Every structure is written in C-alpha cells, then in structure tokens.
Amino acid sequence: MNQLSRMVLVGILALLVGCGYHLRGSIEMPEVLKNMYVFGASQPLQGELQSIMKASKGKIVGSPNDAGVVVKVLREEMRNRVLTIGSTGKSSESELEYYLRFQFFDSKENALMDEQVVEISREFFNDQTAVLAKGNEEQLIRNEIYKQVARMILARARIAVDTQKK
C-alpha cells in the first residue's frame, strides 16, 4: 500500500508540473528581469513588487548597477473622491483613484521604453453605520490596486526587455 500511495503522489506531482502549475503570485520572467531596482515608488507599491519578485525567484536590488531593469517612478498618486452624499451629510459612496507614471531603464541608464502611465479607479460604498468595516474595505481596495499595478509593471517590463532584444 505504501508503494502505491507513493506512485499516486508522484503521478499527481507530474501532472501538476506538466500542466504548467505554478505558485500563486509568481510570474515567469526572463533572466534580465530577475534583478530589478525600483526608484521613487511608495512603500506599498515597493512591497507588492518585492512580494511578486520573491515568488518569481527574483529580487529587488539595492543599487541600479546590480539591476537588469531599473523602474523609475516619475509620479504616483492615490486619491479618495466622494461620489455621493447621504441624508446625514456624510459620504455614502467613494472612489479611489490611482495614477502612476514611470519609465524603464537598463543599468547603463538607457531608456528601454517610453514613459508609461497606469490609471485605476475603484468605487465602493461607505456604510456610515459600520465605520470599522468601511476603513477595512478601503484598505483592502488599496492593497488590491497596488497588487494589480505591480503585476502591470512587471508585464510591461517584460515587454520592454523583449522589444529591446529585437
């Protein structure tokens, strides 16, 4: 029985590897993207980039000279805008707006791609009776925006590197 369970386990693992299974959050990256330097990003964005890089067997390096790709954040902004006001005079619906302008460089400060812009907005309901839940929901939405932006940056970095090779 022990031999049979090992064979089943090996078979399942072989199927998972064969179908392209990979850990959640990991991205397959070319070798040049494994070392990235990020300049001027907010702490939450830097943290998300670091998390994805770690899951993808890459890392954020401490110097642009050690990096295959340098991400220079030119402008980053997160704003909260009131959409509707309830009968009590307090906001009942809000919108988070995120704006990011950045550019990719190689370690010799040559631009790999023109400036890139990312704009994301998310609307959410402000329940005035559940103040703690409102704060948690807004923070959750902010975190999701940063995750999405980090993935977009890495996808565009891959495009920049691929077009540079040609």
Mean pLDDT of the chain, nearest integer: 86
Q: What is the mean pLDDT of residues 28-43?
A: 89
CATH number at residue 84: 3.30.160.150
Q: Does 21 score more than 60 pLDDT?
A: no
Which band of pLDDT confidence, cut at 50, 70 and 90, is reported for residue 150?
very high
Q: Which domain holds residue 148?
A: 2-165
**Strand extents, DSSP E, the chain:** 35-39, 59-60, 69-85, 91-105, 116-125
Written as one letter, the residue type at 56 is: S
Nearest one of 97, 101, 95, 92 to 79, comparing CA atoms: 97
Crossing angle of helices 43-55/131-165, nearest 10°? 60
Cα–Cα distance between 97 and 79 in angstroms, integer? 5
Kindly report the pTM of this predicted structure. 0.78
Per-residue model confidence as pLDDT tens digits over 83-93: 888 777 777 78
3-class DSSP state of 136: helix
What pLDDT, on a 0 to 100 scale, did the predictor assign at position 134? 67
Q: How confident is the model at residue 166 (pLDDT cuts 50, 70, 90)?
A: low
Rounded Cα distance, 16 and 135, in Å: 39
Number of domains present in the structure of the chain: 1
